[in-house]
Amino acid sequence: MVRKNINFLTGYVGLAGRPNVGKSSLMNQAIGTQVSIVTKRKQTTRNPVLGVFSSPDCQIAFLDNPGIDFKNSLLLNKRLKKIAFSNVACTNINIVILEATKLLEDDRKILQNMPDDIPLIIVLNKVDKIRTSHQKEAMYKMVADLERFKPVEIIPISVKKKFQIDILIEKIKQNLPFGEALFNRTLITDRDLKFRASEIIRKNIINCVGDELHYHFAVEVTSIKEDLERSSLTRIQATIYTSKSSHKPILIGEGGRKLKIIRLRSTRELKNIFQGNVHLSLWVKLVNCWNKNSALLDNMGIS
Ligand SMILES: Nc1nc2c(ncn2[C@@H]2O[C@H](COP(=O)(O)OP(=O)(O)OP(=O)(O)O)[C@@H](O)[C@H]2O)c(=O)[nH]1
Ligand SMILES: [Mg+2]
């Protein structure tokens, strides 16, 4: 018989919601470091990312998921939706994140599709955007409307202002089962350095290019090697896949200027992860319709 540790609370918490509502921001804030990339563009998260919060009396394993978009019919998007829903089917608690300023049809659909047998917390993020009494009233109406999804809690928060994150953690703890820690208490994510490096590069590309490119590129780190001659130098090689030849010059920029900015910004962040100097080489490669190519999506772990 497996004995439960009655002094320790532990479990998986799934994060679900439309793209751009702040799922990754919330997880990073809760665990106190950036393990999942955040940008102002939709569908930043493509692969689920585990982020572990550990304290003396509990361990919460957050599962950050891709944003769920019911309208986009691209193969990439269909896979992201499937990944997100399958990940919230095997958790101890789920959190659906909404924006406090609006409740959209997709929010309702997501709530309707959440598993009935797993406790649900609804979080209304970005309350810092609520300024007028009219907006406040609309949010109260929204809360009343959301009661029919039978959440165990509805909590307004602002990740940006760090408002009520501690209360959310307390509510999560109240709904967690007793048990032994799931992971070593020093672990913050199960994602390897290749994945984390490719995500940092992807974030810096998203921030440097316009919306027209956002859904049309992917990053693969092909090699990470320690330099044997120069200690504390890591050499990283990565390929940026793009689906249209017209996108290549946009990514590279005049005289390679854009790619240089991406490389410099990424290198700065990679130094923190690799705790030393980093030399990053980037290549841009044309792969027609990579986001409709099931073999390539499989390779990137989006299956
Ligand atoms: N004003 C405000 N902005 C926020 C807050 N939380 C997150 N954001 C911003 O919302 C944007 C999207 O945040 P993400 O954390 O990437 O959202 P996401 O839900 O993970 O998005 P996908 O990965 O695309 O599904 C970023 O620009 C964040 O800085 C908040 O509390 N207030
Ligand atoms: Mg995200």
pLDDT surpassing 70 at residue 1:
no
pLDDT at 3: 58
Atom of ligand 1 nearest to the CA of 38: 16
Distance separating alpha carbons of residues 50 and 44, to the nearest angstrom? 15
Nearest residue to 123 (alpha-carbon basis) of 156, 82, 80, 84: 156
Asked whether the beta carbons of 153 and 147 are under 8 A apart, the reply is: no
Q: How far is the CA of 157 from the centre of ligand 1 (A)?
A: 12
Lowest mean pLDDT among 52-56, 63-67, 195-199, 212-216: 212-216
Q: What percent of the chain has pLDDT over 90?
A: 79
pLDDT at 2: 55
| Residue 108: partners with Cβ closer than 8 Å, 6 or more residues away | none
- Per-residue model confidence as pLDDT tens digits over 102-131: 999 999 999 999 999 999 999 999 999 999
Ligand whose nearest atom lies closest to the CA of 98: 1
- Per-residue model confidence as pLDDT tens digits over 45-98: 999 999 999 999 999 999 999 999 998 888 888 999 999 999 999 999 999 999
Q: What are φ and ψ of residue 295, in 5° steps?
A: -65, -45
Domains and CATH numbers, the chain: 9-174 (3.40.50.300), 193-299 (3.30.300.20)
Q: What is the mean pLDDT of the chain?
A: 93
Model-level pTM greater than 0.85? yes
Q: What is the mean pLDDT of residues 28-49?
A: 93
Q: What is the mean pLDDT of residues 197-212?
A: 90
Q: Which amino acids bring their CB within 6 angstroms of ligand 1?
A: 17, 19-25, 38-40, 42-45, 66-67, 125-126, 128-129, 158-160
Give the count of beta carbons closer than 10 Å to the beta carbon of residue 194: 15
Q: What are φ and ψ of residue 202, in 5° steps?
A: -60, -40
**Angle at which helices 23-31 and 165-174 cross, to 10°:** 80
Ligand whose nearest atom lies closest to the CA of 28: 1
Residue 60, by phi and psi: left (phi above 0), alpha (psi -120 to 50) or beta? Answer: beta
299 confidence band (pLDDT: 50, 70, 90): confident
- Per-residue model confidence as pLDDT tens digits over 253-293: 999 999 999 999 999 999 999 989 999 999 999 988 777 77
pLDDT at 133: 96
Of 37, 38, 45, 199, the one to substitute when testing ligand 1's pocket (max ligand atoms within 8 A of C-beta) is 38
Nearest CA to ligand 1 atom 14: 22
